[in-house]
């Protein structure tokens, strides 16, 4: 009996393995011009629709009969857009110093929706994040570095600095029977905030380091009151958010300031509120009423990160159309072989069917990611420049956040293409796979952001469906110390960016596993 010599490949180890399959699938992909054109079309849709959106967006503000460019929000020490509007009663401080004050009450007025048309409905009350306390600020310029300790409408004592940083102190409100003593101490660049129920027993709230704080700063009392946010249902079943005027008045006494430069006359500034060019006094200015050592300070506005302006990811609206294009390509990358009966050849060349599917996923995912990365990398900065030229302000974000948005959109497209591939292998019918993929990823997203559904339903959809992956493009975070409309319709997602993207990846991995199981379990 003749012995049979076992087969040994002349290729080095690994050359006839998985990466050889990847190379073979890449060769297939690049030789089918329709697939290449499909991915290119997805990238062009991202660029074309994104830049068209930017070019069609304009902003102007009315000043009497004349339309003028809208003012640009100030930027904080970290380069982020901020709201810096409040009433400030202050003195100069040269070097180290201390300010102590007792807040005995905080009241206010809130404009509510009119119960009777034409009759203003103003009620007594204080919004939850109204603020009254003491502050050390680099200067009276908007966006200047600061540290403050304060009482709030409903969130107790807080210490905040440089707009984004917030530390909670003792909960509870303030009244003549239960006043709050506050103290700020400056030592170099370090500011320490403390609170006390009686002015004798002090508890530290927090410490802030204001890098580069100049020797001369401003120290004093401040009051701010953001608008009253109301959310009401709309006719389509979603919600409408409206912010109406609110002001707060704090009564402060036992004010003591120590440090070089202090002890002179108190100066009042309505930070962020200026007289109009024509000399007309702006609506709802802040004010100071003083009786001996008691200060009654009224303020409007807020000292906080800005959340309501246009965000950079809005230049990437074309990603929705690009997503459909790459899903179609992902589906056809496998179903075309079934339709043309070429899948038999593929499986004979590599009997390990799961590896074939994995090789296809690597190819379609890599190609789509590179195309999406190029498209998003061009669209976001170019769209932002176009918007700026049209007078539309977009919130600046840190470089790492911008890179995450660009790479995240590319990854979103890539994983969606792989999901299409998996569903194509699972159903083996192009139309069925495309419909299921689009219905799972795009339809929940559109329903959520178009305010067709109650917010609770929209957030539920963006938590448990593959549409959660769109969270990867959110650039501005939610701030717990800022009351805002944090809803999908406003560009905020219920999951963090990478958590939402992980949901999409989980669905894609599950679809790939099911497709591989089906490939192994039946004839092709």
Per-residue pLDDT of 359-406, as tens digits, reads 999 999 999 999 999 999 999 999 999 998 888 888 999 999 999 999
User: What is the distance between the alpha carbons of residues 229 and 242, in angstroms, rounded to a whole number?
Assistant: 6
Q: Residue 117: what pLDDT?
A: 80
Q: Confidence band (pLDDT; 50, 70, 90) for 6? A: very low
Q: Residue 11: what pLDDT?
A: 44
Q: Residue 339: what pLDDT?
A: 73
Residue that has been written with the tokens 């103290």 in this structure: 183
**If you average pLDDT over residues 204-228, what whole number do you get?**
96
Q: Residue 421: what pLDDT?
A: 95
Q: Residue 462: what pLDDT?
A: 96
Judged by DSSP in three states, 187 sits in strand
Q: Residue 522: what pLDDT?
A: 59
Judged by DSSP in three states, 368 sits in helix
Q: Where are the domains of the chain?
A: 18-56+310-521, 82-305
Q: Residue 428: what pLDDT?
A: 87
Per-residue pLDDT of 144-187, as tens digits, reads 999 999 999 999 999 999 999 999 999 999 999 999 999 999 99
Q: Does residue 284 surpass a pLDDT of 70?
A: no
Q: Residue 13: what pLDDT?
A: 43
User: What is the distance between the alpha carbons of residues 295 and 106, in angstroms, rounded to a whole number?
Assistant: 12
User: What is the distance between the alpha carbons of residues 75 and 182, in angstroms, rounded to a whole number?
Assistant: 28
Q: Confidence band (pLDDT; 50, 70, 90) for 340? A: low
Per-residue pLDDT of 218-230, as tens digits, reads 999 999 999 998 8
Q: Confidence band (pLDDT; 50, 70, 90) for 65? A: low
User: What is the distance between the alpha carbons of residues 225 and 109, in angstroms, rounded to a whole number?
Assistant: 10
Q: Confidence band (pLDDT; 50, 70, 90) for 24? A: confident
Q: Does residue 122 surpass a pLDDT of 50?
A: yes
Three-state SS string across 97-162, please? EEEEEEEEEEEEEEEECCCCCCCCEEEECCCCCCEEEEEEECCCCCCCCEEEEEEECCCCEEEEEC
**If you average pLDDT over residues 416-437, what whole number do you get?**
94
User: What is the distance between the alpha carbons of residues 489 and 466, in angstroms, rounded to a whole number?
Assistant: 18
Topology of the domain covering 82-305: Jelly Rolls (2.60.120)
Q: Does residue 306 surpass a pLDDT of 60?
A: yes
Residue that has been written with the tokens 């399959």 in this structure: 21
**If you average pLDDT over residues 446-456, what whole number do you get?**
87
User: What is the distance between the alpha carbons of residues 208 and 189, in angstroms, rounded to a whole number?
Assistant: 8
- Written as six digits, the tokens of 29 are 């992909």
Residue that has been written with the tokens 């003083």 in this structure: 290
pTM score, whole prediction? 0.87
| Top-confidence range, 14-18, 331-335, 353-357 | 331-335
Residue that has been written with the tokens 């700026």 in this structure: 388
Residue that has been written with the tokens 């009254």 in this structure: 132
Residue that has been written with the tokens 């009759």 in this structure: 119
- Widest Cα–Cα separation across the chain: 118
Q: Residue 113: what pLDDT?
A: 79
Q: Does residue 451 surpass a pLDDT of 90?
A: no
Q: What is the DSSP letter of 476?
A: S
Q: Does residue 346 surpass a pLDDT of 70?
A: no
Work out the mean pLDDT of the chain and round it to a whole number: 89
């Amino acid at each position: 009996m003749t012995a049979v010599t076992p087969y040994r490949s002349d290729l080095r180890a690994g050359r006839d393995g998985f990466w050889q399959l990847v190379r073979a699938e890449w060769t297939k992909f690049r030789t089918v011009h329709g697939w290449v054109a499909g991915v290119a079309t997805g990238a062009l849709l991202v660029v074309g629709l994104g830049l068209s959106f930017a070019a069609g967006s304009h902003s102007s503000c009315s000043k009497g009969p004349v339309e003028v460019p809208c003012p640009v929000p100030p930027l904080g020490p970290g380069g982020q857009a901020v709201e810096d509007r409040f009433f400030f009663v202050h003195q100069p401080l040269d070097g180290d110093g201390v300010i102590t004050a007792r807040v005995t009450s905080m009241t206010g007025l809130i404009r509510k929706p009119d119960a009777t048309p034409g009759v203003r409905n103003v009620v007594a009350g204080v919004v939850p994040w109204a603020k009254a306390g003491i502050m050390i600020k680099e200067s009276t310029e908007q966006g200047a570095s600061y540290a403050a300790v304060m009482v709030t409408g409903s969130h107790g004592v807080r210490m905040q600095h440089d707009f984004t940083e917030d530390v909670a102190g003792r909960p509870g409100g303030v009244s003549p029977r239960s006043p709050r003593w506050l103290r700020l101490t400056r030592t170099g660049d370090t500011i320490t905030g403390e609170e006390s129920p009686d002015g004798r027993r002090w508890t530290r709230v927090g410490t802030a380091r204001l890098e580069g704080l100049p020797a001369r700063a401003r120290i004093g009392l401040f009051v701010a009151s953001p608008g009253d946010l109301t959310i009401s249902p709309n006719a389509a079943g979603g919600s409408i958010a409206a912010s109406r005027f609110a002001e707060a008045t704090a009564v402060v006494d036992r004010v003591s300031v120590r440090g070089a430069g202090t002890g002179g006359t108190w100066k009042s500034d309505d930070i962020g509120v200026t007289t109009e060019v024509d000399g007309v006094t702006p609506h709802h200015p802040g004010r100071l009423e003083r009786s001996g050592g008691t200060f009654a300070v009224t303020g409007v506005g807020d000292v906080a990160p800005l959340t309501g302006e246009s965000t950079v990811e809005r230049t990437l609206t074309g990603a929705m159309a690009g997503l459909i294009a790459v899903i179609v390509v992902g589906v056809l990358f496998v179903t075309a072989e079934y339709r043309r009966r070429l899948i038999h050849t593929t499986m004979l060349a590599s009997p390990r069917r799961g590896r074939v599917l994995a090789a296809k996923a690597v190819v379609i995912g890599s190609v789509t990611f590179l195309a999406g990365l190029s498209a998003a990398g061009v669209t976001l900065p170019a769209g932002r420049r176009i918007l700026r030229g049209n007078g539309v302000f977009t919130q600046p974000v840190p470089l790492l956040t911008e890179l995450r948005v660009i790479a995240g959109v590319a990854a979103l497209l890539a994983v969606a293409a792989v999901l299409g591939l998996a569903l194509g292998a699972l159903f083996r019918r192009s139309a069925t796979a495309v419909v299921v993929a689009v219905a799972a990823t795009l339809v929940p997203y559109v329903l959520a952001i178009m305010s067709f559904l109650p917010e609770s339903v929209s957030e539920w959809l963006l938590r448990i469906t593959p549409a959660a992956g769109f969270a990867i493009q959110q650039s501005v975070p939610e701030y717990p110390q800022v009351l805002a409309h944090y809803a999908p319709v406003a560009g905020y997602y219920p999951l963090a960016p990478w958590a939402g993207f992980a949901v999409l990846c989980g669905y894609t991995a599950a679809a790939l596993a099911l497709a591989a199981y089906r490939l192994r379990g039946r004839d092709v």
